[in-house]
Amino acid sequence: MTVIDIPADSPFGIDNLPYGVFSTAGTAPRVGVRVADNVVDLAAALGDEVFARPTLNDFMALGPRAWADARTRIIEAVRGELPAAAVIDLADATMHLPVEVADYVDFYASEQHATNLGRLFRPDAAPLMPNWKHLPVGYHGRAGTVIVSGTDIVRPCGQRKPPADPVPSFGPSQRLDIEAEIGFVVGVPSAPGTAVTPDDFAEHVFGVVVVNDWSARDIQAWEYVPLGPFLGKSFATSISPWVVPLAALGTARVDTPVQDPEPLPYLRGEEKWGLDIELTVEWNGQVVSRPPYAQMYWSPAQMLAHTTINGAAARTGDLFASGTVSGERKDQRGAFIELTWGGTEPVEVGGENRTFLEDGDEIVIAATAPGPRGTRIGFGEVRGRIRPATQAAR
């Protein structure tokens, strides 16, 4: 039997217990929770077959009562003695995509980010479109290109047309960017033709991940009028391997910023679902930004309510992301198109002036939130390195 030593300052202590899917040499992927620098094999520790499966979907679909019961059992097990075979050193575990993603929707919920891009793209007009403060703007992404942290990103190719060029050309993106975001994973589906209210958010959403929605800005700029993002976004979206359950984030809940004008009734709720999550963005090992999620204008509860208000069903494994998290200061901008102001204000990275991503660059986005008794809740990180465009696409 084994007793896990949990340092008092660990962001992966008893108040967190994020879920992930892992394997070790010669074994199949299965569900575990992270405790300090260990993974607890839940099938071995609890004897529950639902945790022996290669995704979290079956467990997530059981709903809040089952989630709460499992959390109680896990806490009891971690506080006591565990079978030695159930405790795996994190360094010996290979992490996998934690959920089978059903649908992927990305929002545009940061007023600072939307305002900055409006000023960049429409310098002679109002930075926010007329609809922005009336509804959570979003687009439907590609679930099949959601990948787990640590997966390399192949530079995408597509059509590009700089303003000075008379016609478009084809080739690798020259303005490859990141978007530091927070994502939400649906556990309990909703019935077609019904809507999830903001106050029913916790009855459906299982947990939270860190997201990097990689973006090819030159491809995006040419294609997005009039229907919005497509190839400039759909090539890769990276998520962290650990899903922090909503139950771990009670201390992190805060009010959203004042919403003026008042949203329509279907977007109102009594429950507050702003979250005090602090992100960090590292570019080749250097921290270049610290975006504050607490400043997001639209809450995830409002995002889910808007997604389903037309009768579209939420499904187990749905992932919806916040859109770029940006704050009021320059060092809080969560995308490089903002941080470098469209490439006109380079930032120094490793002694070089940089604007957009080059081959070989590595981006790491991490996040933490306040926990009980002054602790911090860790989300882990989402990591990705840029590889050159494939030869066939050049």
| DSSP track, 6-34 | --TT-TTSTTT--EEEEE-TT---EEEEE
Summary count for the chain: helices (H), strands (E): 8, 26
- Bridge partners, residue 40, by sequence: 33, 87
Confidence of residue 163 (pLDDT cuts 50, 70, 90): confident
How far is 110 from 255, CA to CA, in rounded Å? Answer: 14
38-41 vs 376-387, strand pairing mode: unpaired
- Bridge partners, residue 283, by sequence: 286, 363
- Return the active site residues: 113
How far is 162 from 160, CA to CA, in rounded Å? Answer: 7
pLDDT digits (tens, 9 = 90+) for 21-71: 999 999 999 999 999 999 999 999 999 999 999 999 999 999 999 999 999
In a 13 Å sphere around the CA of 388, the CA atoms on its Cβ side amount to 5
Answering whether pTM is above 0.75, one says yes
How far is 198 from 302, CA to CA, in rounded Å? Answer: 6
Task: Say yes or no to pLDDT of 393 above 80.
Answer: no
pLDDT digits (tens, 9 = 90+) for 332-377: 999 999 999 999 999 999 999 999 999 999 999 999 999 999 999 9
Alpha helices (H) in the chain, listed in sequence order:
42-46, 57-60, 64-79, 111-121, 201-204, 217-223, 300-308, 336-339
Residue with tokens 């986005």: 365
Q: Is 309 exposed, middle or buried (0-12, 13-18, 19+ CB in 10 A)?
A: middle
Average pLDDT over the chain reads 96
Q: Cα 314 vs. chain centroid, distance in angstroms? A: 18
Task: Say yes or no to pLDDT of 394 above 80.
Answer: no
Task: Say yes or no to pLDDT of 392 above 80.
Answer: no
Phi, psi of 295 (to 5 degrees): -90, 5
Q: What is the distance between the terminal CA atoms of the chain, rounded to a whole angstrom?
A: 56
